[in-house]
Amino acid sequence: MPLQITAFSFPAALVITIFLGAMFTRLFLPGLMGMIVEAGFVRPNFRGEVIPLGVGLVFSLATVACIVILYPFLPGQLQFSALAFSLALAAFTCLGLVDDVWGSRRDSGLKGHLRNLLQGRLTTGALKALAGGGVSLFLATATGPLAWVPVNALTLALSVNTINLLDLRPGRAGKGFLLGSILLFAAGWGQWSLAFLGALAGSVMAYLTVDLKARAMMGDTGANALGAALGLTAIWVLPDGVKLVYLGLLIVLHVVAEKYSLTALIARSPLLDRLDRWGSDRE
């Protein structure tokens, strides 16, 4: 019988996956950024400097590389979770990339995209909502009890959009993801499916410097993948009552974001503004 990852202590396995995620990101990042720049897929940052967009593709590349290495050492149920996690990353990375490449900022917000859809005009935002909702529904059906499918699907879909809402300033989306990961590690400590989130957290930590210094943008390509990972992991590890509270908070956040600017709300809070600026060139 081959050695399985569960032969290690949970903290040791988590450290291993975080390290692998960071290592692969450091390995892939320079070449990926160079490739994106060479292709001309660039945007101006807040200083007017032209930097690569969609660099968040590295999250899926690095995390799936970790999963490929770990897969032979996973017990059966964890192998299924690894495939589901990889599917979530791949699907939402692809949808985010479509939005980055072909998306228009003329219409923003969920209501704006749905309004265009009802008028017969398909936007990349509406496509992302429809296809992302379908993927969320599939993953919720495949990984949880049928009675919880609506809650789990909505949790996953809103988690995806939450990180997307944060991705308006250097480093903000990455910090939000890492904070969410820490909370999930604490809530689900000892559950082995957290190892996949650990690999992605390692990737984000290795990437975050270039984002904080406004040398690259993760784009929806990366933000959607981060949100999908948080949502799927929350479905797996949170107790039912806590999951309902988490979903309620997501709904409140989306209602607030439709009416107010999150950036303005963050700026009004000295603590949140300090955390938002921490480590970035806006400090």
pLDDT in tens, 157-190: 999 999 999 998 999 999 999 999 999 999 999 9
Confidence (pLDDT) at 8: 84
Bridge pairing between strands 50-52 and 42-44: antiparallel
Name the band, by pLDDT with cuts 50, 70 and 90, for residue 258.
Answer: confident
- CB contact at 8 A, 25 and 207: yes
Query: pTM for the whole thing?
Result: 0.93
Confidence (pLDDT) at 123: 81
Judged by DSSP in three states, 27 sits in helix
Between helices 76-102 and 149-166, what is the axis angle to 10°?
50
pLDDT in tens, 216-255: 999 999 999 999 999 999 999 999 999 999 999 999 999 9
Q: Which residues are annotated as a binding site for Mg(2+)?
A: 164, 220
> Greater confidence, 121 or 113?
121
Residues in the chain: 283
Confidence (pLDDT) at 5: 84
Q: Which residues are annotated as a binding site?
A: 164, 220
User: % helix / strand / coil in the chain, to the nearest 5?
Assistant: 75, 5, 20
Cβ neighbour number for residue 224 with a 10 Å cutoff: 34
Q: Where are the domains of the chain?
A: 5-277
Name the band, by pLDDT with cuts 50, 70 and 90, for residue 114.
Answer: low
Amino acid at 110: L
pLDDT in tens, 51-109: 999 999 999 999 999 999 999 999 988 999 999 999 999 999 999 999 999 886 665 55
- Integer CA distances (angstroms), 71 to 66, 93, 190, 209, in order: 8, 21, 19, 29
Average pLDDT of every residue of the chain: 92
